[in-house]
Amino acid sequence: MSPEPPSGTLPPSSGTLPPPSASLLARVDAMRPVRTRRPRLEAAVVALASLAALAALLTVFRPRSDLSSLIVDGVAAVCALVFGAELWWALVPPRGQVLPLRRGAGARVLGAWLVVVAALVITGHDLAPDPRFMASARACLLVGTMTALIPAFLCLVLLRRAVDLGGWRIGAVVGGAAGALGALCLQLHCANTHLWHVVVAHGGAALLPIAIFAFVTRK
């Protein structure tokens, strides 16, 4: 992705400079000071609000019955780390830039999702067929996607001025963060250990928001 030409590389136009339009001047004359973005603070607020919402949702959906035995759950830790990293990519621009657009956004999001799926696969699960695969997968996809809507909505509100400029890349990164939170919620809520359920439903819940928000924000 090469969205922004470096400053100062273009020569000035040879013609005379047109004056600002009347409507622009009217708005500039009437302008008031605005509070500019503080991306790190925004990322922290969204992270805290999302985790608080996750805790609230878990009290509604009930945490998994064996949660107390999972002293340090590797999958949950990976989901939380991916959520934090993608939230940072989504909201905090690279140093010296205004727009939070990074090179290889699509590859980053895909790579982060693969990390979540790999964590789900390698932690070892029941390989026996799940007789209630469809019903349980549907329920988990629903819970995961509902959880994902919270950070996605907050991020898109904060990034509304950039969505038009960043297109699907911004949506994909926001969806990646949201999906990781959805997968984290499922890891703490769902005690189903069948491999295909975990990969398809929990991994799918991490992937679905990426596709949804990339589609919604495309130009």
**Site for another protein, rule CB under 8 A:** 3-8, 10-15, 17-18, 20-21, 23-24, 27-29, 31-39, 93, 96-99, 161-162, 164-165
CA separation (Å) from 115 to 108, 109, 142, 202? 11, 10, 22, 13
Least distance (Å) between residue 190 CB and another protein = 38
Distance CA 141, CA 110 (A): 19
Yes or no: say if 143 and 201 are a contact pair by the CB < 8 Å rule. Answer: no
Least distance (Å) between residue 50 CB and another protein = 21
Comparison of 23 and 69: residue with beta carbon closer to another protein: 23
Comparison of 26 and 52: residue with beta carbon closer to another protein: 26
CA separation (Å) from 83 to 118, 178, 206? 15, 7, 10
Comparison of 127 and 219: residue with beta carbon closer to another protein: 219
Comparison of 15 and 129: residue with beta carbon closer to another protein: 15
Least distance (Å) between residue 170 CB and another protein = 12
Q: Give bridge partners of residue 118 from the DSSP assignment.
A: none
CA separation (Å) from 209 to 83, 96, 153, 171? 13, 29, 11, 9
Least distance (Å) between residue 168 CB and another protein = 14
